[in-house]
């Protein structure tokens, strides 16, 4: 929090001028990038939440959860968000089965009354870690599709869009084909800028396939580095990685000037993407879920031709205080870059 205060002049919030015109949704925060800062904020003030933290950082919005669906609590949340002049994207669990639809209906009603811009769902874990066999992946993919099919009539009823994150569970073509089958204006992609590198996708290909479905974004930059079983993948401060952020942001905003971008620069040890191991390939199949060798070759080319500009962030062995400081520094660097260079 001290770091945030010291860097405030760099944040250059634009909400006052542009949000007042009703056409600018702007830059917000995604909670995965601010976990330790949220904890520190709550230690200082038990009543503080992520909305408060994003407001102090002069962000234009945030992705969060509703602490309660109670009408009074929802009203108070909306009043606070409107007072802060912030848009909100809400995480809420999707229906597990038919018996859970009524619960979901109540949750979506609360989100609508809270003034949510959209809903967000991350429905998978890391595919290459979660599953040991193709059949297990297929069953889980069917579960996700059923859950969204149950949710769609409720979303349509309340006219509230759901963005399904590309969360290291499906390759872009698999997710896009599913959305085409569903064919609903109320279900799209919460587009994560970097996740699909872990599934051996050229980021430009991921962007080409998924960006037409994007209703909101997790904006991040990625750095890569070889290791013995494959490659390492890290979120790094915006501008320090390999993604074409300026072109992507411009293209997304041209298609939808109101699309939100939430910073998700997660400060942690690099993720291991073990493409040279048998387990990594267990869920890929030429007929059901292909991963062509040319895609692997292309990503390995990207890895070897783009060494990190700086050492990849690492948190192992650091005290919680030092981890919190590092997280705050990386987030503020990303916010500053987004404001000054990407004009968000």
Averaged over 33-43, what is the pLDDT? 96
Confidence check: pLDDT of 2 > 80: no
In a domain, 247, yes or no: yes
pLDDT-above-70 percentage for the chain:
93
Strand partners for 216: 190
Tell me, yes or no, whether 106 lies in a domain.
yes
Nearest to 149 by CA among 184, 193, 103, 111: 184
Res. 14 pLDDT band, cuts 50 70 90: low
pTM of the model: 0.94
φ/ψ of 309, rounded to 5, equals -70, -30
Closest to 56 measured CA to CA, from 120, 118, 2? 2
pLDDT band at 26 (very low <50, low <70, confident <90, very high): confident
Say if 344 falls within a structural domain: no
Query: Given the DSSP bridges, would you call strands 230-236 and 271-273 parallel, antiparallel or unpaired?
Result: antiparallel
Rounded to whole angstroms, how far apart are CA atoms 140 and 195?
19
Checking if the pLDDT of 321 tops 80, the result is: yes
Instruction: Give the E-state strand segments of 175-302 in sequence order.
Output: 187-192, 214-219, 221-227, 230-236, 261-263, 271-273
Where helices occur in 57-202 by DSSP H, the ranges are 71-84, 101-113, 127-130, 134-158, 172-182
What pLDDT score does 180 carry? Answer: 98
d(CA 319, CA 144): 38
- 137-179 pLDDT tens trace: 999 999 999 999 999 999 999 999 999 999 999 999 999 999 9
For residue 331, tell me if it sits in a domain: yes
Rounded distance, CA 77 to CA 63, Å? 13
Is residue 29 scored above 90 in pLDDT?
A: yes
**Selection from 30, 3, 83 nearest residue 192 by Cα:** 30
Is the pLDDT at 320 greater than 70? The verdict is: yes
Our count of domains for the chain comes to: 1
334 burial level (CB within 10 Å; 0-12, 13-18, 19+): buried
Query: What's the CATH code of the domain at 35?
Result: 3.20.20.150
d(CA 105, CA 94): 10
Tell me what pLDDT residue 24 has: 53
Which range of residues forms the domain containing residue 247? 2-339
Q: What percent of the chain has pLDDT over 90?
A: 92
* Distance, CA of 282 to CA of 219 (rounded, Å): 30
In a domain, residue 208? The reply is: yes
Phi then psi dihedrals of residue 42, to 5 deg: -70, -30
For residues 144 and 179, the answer to whether their CB atoms sit within 8 Å is no
What integer best gives the mean pLDDT of the chain? 94
As a whole number, mean pLDDT of residues 37-59 equals 96
The CA distance from 204 to 199, in Å, is 13
């Amino acid at each position: 929090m001290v770091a945030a205060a010291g860097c405030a002049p760099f944040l250059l919030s634009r909400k006052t001028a542009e949000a007042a015109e009703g056409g600018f949704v702007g830059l917000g925060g995604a909670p995965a990038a601010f976990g330790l800062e949220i904890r520190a904020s709550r230690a200082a003030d038990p009543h503080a939440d992520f909305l408060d933290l994003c407001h102090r950082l002069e962000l234009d919005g945030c992705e969060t959860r509703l602490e309660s669906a109670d009408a009074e609590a929802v009203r108070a949340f909306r009043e606070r968000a409107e007072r802060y002049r912030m848009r909100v994207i809400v995480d809420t669990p999707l229906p597990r089965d038919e018996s859970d639809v009524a619960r979901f209906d109540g949750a979506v009603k609360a989100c609508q009354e809270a003034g949510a811009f959209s809903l967000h769902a991350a429905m998978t874990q890391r595919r290459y870690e979660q599953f040991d066999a193709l059949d297990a992946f297929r069953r889980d993919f069917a579960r996700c599709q059923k859950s969204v099919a149950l949710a769609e009539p409720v979303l349509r009823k309340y006219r509230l869009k759901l963005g399904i994150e590309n969360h290291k569970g499906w390759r872009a073509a698999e997710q896009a084909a599913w959305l085409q089958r569903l064919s609903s204006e109320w279900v799209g992609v919460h587009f994560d800028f970097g996740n699909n590198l872990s599934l051996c996708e050229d980021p430009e290909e991921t962007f080409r396939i998924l960006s037409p479905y994007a209703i909101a974004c997790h904006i991040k930059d990625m750095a890569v580095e070889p290791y013995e079983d494959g490659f390492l993948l890290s979120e790094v401060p915006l501008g320090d990685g390999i993604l074409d952020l300026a072109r992507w942001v411009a293209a997304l905003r041209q298609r939808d000037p109101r699309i939100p971008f939430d910073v998700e620069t997660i400060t942690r040890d690099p993720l291991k993407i073990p493409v040279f191991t048998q387990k990594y390939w267990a869920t890929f199949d030429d007929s059901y879920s292909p991963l062509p060798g040319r895609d692997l070759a292309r990503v390995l080319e990207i890895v070897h031709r783009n060494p990190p500009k700086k050492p990849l962030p690492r948190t192992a062995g650091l005290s919680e205080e030092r981890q919190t400081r590092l997280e705050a520094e990386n987030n503020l660097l990303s916010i500053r870059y987004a404001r000054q260079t990407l004009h968000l």
